[in-house]
């Protein structure tokens, strides 16, 4: 069954392509449409280059970049070519709509059969499952960003990498891992940018995976008294100082400690 229209979630598409050039976005859209017209079946790199009208090396390199970032290499043979590609979301939506229209068609046939055979009433078409709305990670990222003790680098780039690499991660737990990691670096100039840390999936490294939930960072106030960070609430840290709990602003060292948050 040919499906002429392609579902496009504009918010997700914009967020996923914010780092691309206009040429790369155009190639990505052309490849999405091509995958849809191919009934979501695997297609070769050569076919991708042809549909994008590539006549020079730069265009072919751009096509390869888009394929590697947004498409999956299936390693299936298509026209004697091993290097083939599919798009996960396109495949999922195509299979869903195929099933939906097939069920609708079968339901219509059953209803017509009952009417022709003199049966009373009509069978109702099954109510299809709605296409799930993509998860909005904007709030998740803001929770992560506000929980960081050291916001290194561009927030915009950090958001792009977060939405790409950390959709299923707990933002507060992820921030704890970064804070624990950066807290061990004495010279703060050597702390990597947050976007780099996320892009390299450093939160999966063994030295931070040991037990970040139990990791307690120990530091000092200006008067030399040591305290331990045991929690985080927005711009404030819950700390233990001389056996008592206090709340300290993360970035304003001159602000007095608070007993209640």
pLDDT in tens, 222-248: 788 888 877 766 677 788 888 888 888
pLDDT in tens, 2-23: 666 777 888 888 888 999 999 9
Residue 208's pLDDT is 58
Are 61 and 24 contacting, i.e. CB atoms less than 8 angstroms apart?
no
pLDDT in tens, 205-214: 755 554 544 4
Distance CA 258, CA 106 (A): 67
pLDDT in tens, 96-109: 887 877 787 777 77
Under CATH, which number does the domain 1-134 receive? 1.10.10
248 by DSSP, 3-state: which? strand
Distance CA 69, CA 122 (A): 49
Residues in the chain with pLDDT values less than 70: 1-4, 75-82, 117-138, 206-218, 232-234, 261
Query: Can you give the residue ranges of every domain in the chain?
Result: 1-134, 155-249
């Amino acid at each position: 069954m040919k499906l002429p229209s392609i579902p496009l979630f504009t918010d997700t598409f914009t967020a996923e392509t914010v780092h691309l050039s206009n040429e790369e976005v155009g190639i990505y859209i052309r490849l999405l449409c091509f995958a849809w017209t191919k009934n979501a079946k695997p297609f070769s790199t050569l076919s991708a280059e042809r549909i994008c009208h590539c006549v020079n090396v730069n265009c072919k390199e751009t096509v390869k970049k888009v394929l590697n970032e947004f498409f999956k290499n299936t390693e299936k043979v298509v026209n004697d070519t091993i290097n083939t590609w599919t798009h996960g979301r396109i495949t999922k939506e195509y299979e869903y709509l195929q099933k939906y229209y097939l069920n609708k068609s079968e339901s219509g046939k059953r209803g017509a059969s009952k009417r022709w055979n003199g049966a009373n009433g009509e069978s109702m078409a099954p109510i299809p499952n709605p296409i799930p709305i993509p998860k909005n990670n904007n709030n998740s990222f803001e929770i992560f960003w506000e929980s960081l003790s050291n916001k290194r680098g561009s927030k915009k780039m950090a958001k792009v990498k977060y939405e790409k690499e950390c959709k299923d991660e707990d933002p507060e737990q992820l921030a704890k891992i970064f804070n624990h990691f950066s807290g061990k670096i004495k010279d703060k100039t050597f702390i990597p940018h947050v976007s780099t840390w996320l892009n390299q999936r450093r939160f999966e490294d063994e030295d931070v995976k040991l037990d970040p939930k139990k990791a307690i960072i120990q530091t000092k106030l200006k008067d030399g008294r040591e305290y331990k960070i045991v929690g985080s609430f927005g711009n404030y840290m819950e700390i233990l100082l001389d056996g008592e709990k206090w709340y300290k602003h993360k970035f304003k060292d001159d602000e007095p400690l608070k007993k209640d948050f």
